[in-house]
Amino acid sequence: MSDLASLLAVTIPLSWAAAVSPVTLSIFLVIMSMTEKPRLAGLSFYIGAIVVLLVTIFIGIFLGQKLSAASHSDPITMAAIDIFLGAVLFLLGFRNLASKEHGKSNNILNRLQVDPDSSSFRLFIKYLSIGIIAFLMNFSTAIFVLAAGRAIGVANAGLINDSTSIIILIIITLIIIEIPLLFFIIFPEKAHKVMNPVNAWISAHGNIVTGLFCLGIGAFVVYSGLQKLGIS
């Protein structure tokens, strides 16, 4: 198996795990339903999300390279990291299941006070900021993206392979934004009719979906760490 194939075998599953983000999708759909300029709003939000992901990926790569350089990429160290990440996911899962808060997207919009009469540049900055804040708040996605970045750093497969992995990682992670964004750009009128019920359902059940997902993936990550220790 080539270096790129080996790297993608690790990063692609993490990318799909990072893509599960009902709260972020809800924020995006609220923005798109309220704005009179869906293309500008959606693309600005998307760019903000990319900025956060790139920073998180490069932090992960830096940590992975440091682990590799310090000879801490051995199975025991990697297993300990997996178990720690799994424990964090368990905490996030239980927190989401126990949370009774809804309407976080509306709170973000109220704080930033998006004014549709502002200039295109100011709207770009506002929606860019919302995208950045939304993904800074998204801890479950950050954990998986950080883990993928760490894997890229440890593998150190070369500039082309690393760049390809990063691009694929971002595309898959943001697919939950990319699909509705394309829908709003190509079919703006139909998009509002279809996405409004979706947003209503996510607002009511997003915490439960995220919580169960974090618990499931957390269990898998812990099991993977125990396997590296030869326990399971």
Could you report the average pLDDT of every consecutive run of 10 residues in the chain (232 residues)?
Answer: 82 86 80 81 94 95 79 66 77 76 51 65 89 86 89 87 95 93 83 65 66 77 76 68
What is the distance of C-alpha 12 from the center of its chain? 13
Would you say the pTM of this structure is higher than 0.95?
no
